[in-house]
Structure 1
Amino acid sequence: LEDLKSLSTSAQKPEETTFYYALALHFNEQYKDALKFYNQYIQTGTNAKLVSQARENAKACKYALAILPKKQAVTFVNAGKKVNSKFPEYNPFVMPDEGYMFYVTQKEGTTGHVYDAKGYFASDIYISKYKYGNWTRGRSVGQPNSYGNEKVTSISENGKYIVYYVDNPLSKNNLQVAENRKKYSFNPPKKIDDKRINNNSGKQHSGVFSNDGNTFIFSSKRNGGLGGYDLYIVKKLPTGKWGEPQNMGPEINTEKDEIYPYLYDNGQTLYFSSNGHNTIGGFDLQKSTYDNVAKKWNSPENLGLPINTPFDDYTICFGQNKKTAYVGMWRKDGFGEKDIYQLIFENEEPLYTTINAKVMYEDSSQFTPALTIEVYNEKDELTGIYTKKQDKGSFIMVLPPGKYKINLLQNDNIIYQESIFVKDHNLYKDFVEKKIILKGIPKQE
């Protein structure tokens, strides 16, 4: 960036330097300065292709500046080195309880051991388990991985259907589905056997099933579309066969590309990626909700900053509620190219756990005396004070996920301390019973 800045002020600089300096500023999220240099190049540039791109990028910078005041409070948590590498990892999709994650990797060791046009290894689908607060080392799912490119494009909200994109000489450019037969165990993937979906004259990209499997939304480039890749919706007939796919229309589709559909809220919310709607740069994640009265999808909304970036943002997947989500993106704190991150939305309510704590003495059958219970978070901040009346053997705490220290006090004196961990992800439980055993004989009040 600094080298381009110095070169951009030189009288002998190549004409395109101004454009590429603006682009570097754009990628570094310096939207105001990027807009200034894009506009400068629009006025002075002679390369028609770059001038056109500068106009488009300037529009993206203006949009970023307009939505900057609405930037959401989001924490990014890297999935760790057992999942991410110096190569691209992206398209993360979790099971409903967030116990397993499917994702795409192009790291060394993928099935084909061949390179794609960008110099990366061909893409494979991997799976990782969430265990003891961390993601385990990713491993290949086996089928449909091959020496071609395979990608996971969605998991239905209830975890029943996984859709894969497969492109190799034996299975060219098609969508496949694997159905969940029991918890975390899927049938072998099969090509969606309908020529109206896997259209040989077109190109398929990605798709998602509704929870009941009777609706399929997919991205395809084919005759009759509104632009490049469009989103289509198709429903099963009473016969079990698929009906005719319907283009989702100009409310959703643009003259450019719409890809990676993902359904949430029991099919009432559609997420997808587009470079044709309002964008901060490249592909941005969009959201549309279904109007049950008008029987149509509403105009999409950009998911905004910092979820979308100046780079291409393709997929998003939510956990048990909208407190957490998963994306693949480039960030400065990453391991290499794109990494997988968990997003934690600070303004969304977490899943709370109710803890019924029973207090007793190990050498006495008596009920315990009146106690005060103090709860401190990881920052040693007091987050709650509870009381237990005399002759009452338990007290109730309601806490969000996290690490805590509890102090039991009798007459303002600490008689017991313990650290507790309120679990999240697939370890989460909404109700927990806990025993606290005190040594000695209860002191009289």
Structure 2
Amino acid sequence: MWVSQRASVKDPWGTPQNLGPNINSAFNDASPALSSDGHRLYFSSNCPDGFGNNDIYVSRRNNKRDDFAWQPPVNLGGGVNTIADEQGPEYFEDDETGIITLYFVSNRLGGLDGNDIYASTLNEDGDEETFGPAVLVTELSSPFDDQGPAIRRDGREVYLTSNRPGTLGAGGQAIDLWVATRASTSDPWATPVNLGPVVNSVFIDGGPALSRNGTELYFHSPFRPGNVGGPMFDIWVTTRTKLRHSD
């Protein structure tokens, strides 16, 4: 995993730098997600000390402005991880209730098929490594591959990737970005809606990450005109006007 900084939201991003051996291993370390206070980094890895294939880990740092002070990661344990694949963590802290929920992707038994989206709540004892049993988020999951939840700061909007019916492209190889909303954090999610051809291509569009103010959606995609990596994945961003507080 790598990190890039910029002086302000109007400045370009700097050259990415490797996070170093405390975070990165000789295995696949991916899908980083920061806690809202910037002191914890959640990510997935297939290093051999886990429960199964990919597990979710957390690392801490005391200084949230020091990108190279991360401590060795700790496996989140059996509330989140299984012998299957767990990846794509997304941290959400509800400002109204104080409840912390970790959304993630898993292909474990008991889902709707393929990759589904799950949620696990931090235990009330405040142990930052102990999350409760994960629950399938049925509104966001389908019998197809559903991945990459990215939740707006207020918890009322979530972006995900899926190859469910309605995806652009043919042959079942395309993956699109979708969005779902809810009236409040205590309400169920509405049915996800495809973001359409302005954002999605007929190829693979995934890995959504929403800016803190909700106006920038970052994602990865290959093959698009202008891709620096050609057929490899590049990072793209789409913007929208600033949200009203009532949204």
Q: TM-score range by the shorter chain?
A: 0.7 to 0.9
Quick check: 1:190 aligned with 2:66?
no
- CA distance in 1 between counterparts of 2:191 and 2:71 reads 37
- The counterpart of 2:106, out of the listed 217, 220, 228, is 220
**C-alpha contact 1:144 1:166 (8 A) present in aligned 2:** no
**After superposition, what is the alpha-carbon deviation per residue over 1:352-374, rounded to whole angstroms, capped at 9, x for unaligned?**
xxxxxxxxxxxxxxxxxxxxxxx
- The counterpart of 2:235, out of the listed 340, 344, 349, is 340
TM-score, with structure 2 as normaliser:
0.78
Q: Which has the higher contact order (CA 8 A, sep 6+)?
A: 1
**After superposition, what is the alpha-carbon deviation per residue over 1:52-73, rounded to whole angstroms, capped at 9, x for unaligned?**
xxxxxxxxxxxxxxxxxxxxxx
| Paired letter, 1:246 | V
- The counterpart of 2:155, out of the listed 253, 267, 276, is 267
Higher strand share: 1
Counterpart of 2:3 in structure 1 is 127
- CA distance in 2 between counterparts of 1:319 and 1:256 reads 27
Quick check: 1:210 aligned with 2:92?
yes
**C-alpha contact 1:269 1:290 (8 A) present in aligned 2:** yes
Structure 1: stretches of 5+ with no match in the other structure: 1-124, 351-445
TM-score, with structure 1 as normaliser:
0.46
Instruction: Give secondary structure in 1 for the equivalent of 2:205.
Output: coil
Q: How many residues align?
A: 223
Counterpart of 2:182 in structure 1 is 290
Deviation, structure 1 residue 279: 1.0
% same residue: 23
Deviation, structure 1 residue 320: 4.3
Counterpart of 1:413 in structure 2 is none
| Paired letter, 1:130 | R
- CA distance in 1 between counterparts of 2:2 and 2:82 reads 27
- The counterpart of 1:141, out of the listed 19, 24, 28, is 19
- The counterpart of 1:176, out of the listed 57, 68, 79, is 57
**C-alpha contact 1:207 1:218 (8 A) present in aligned 2:** yes
**C-alpha contact 1:176 1:190 (8 A) present in aligned 2:** yes
**After superposition, what is the alpha-carbon deviation per residue over 1:379-407, rounded to whole angstroms, capped at 9, x for unaligned?**
xxxxxxxxxxxxxxxxxxxxxxxxxxxxx
**C-alpha contact 1:161 1:209 (8 A) present in aligned 2:** no
CA-based RMSD = 2.7
Deviation, structure 1 residue 236: 2.6
What is the 5 A alignment of 1:370-409? none
Deviation, structure 1 residue 140: 0.6
- The counterpart of 1:199, out of the listed 72, 82, 86, is 82
**After superposition, what is the alpha-carbon deviation per residue over 1:114-170, rounded to whole angstroms, capped at 9, x for unaligned?**
xxxxxxxxxxx1111224833222111113212221113433456454321112345
**C-alpha contact 2:58 2:74 (8 A) present in aligned 1:** yes
- Alpha-carbon distance change, 173 to 318 in structure 1, aligned in 2, over 3 angstroms: closer
Deviation, structure 1 residue 213: 6.9
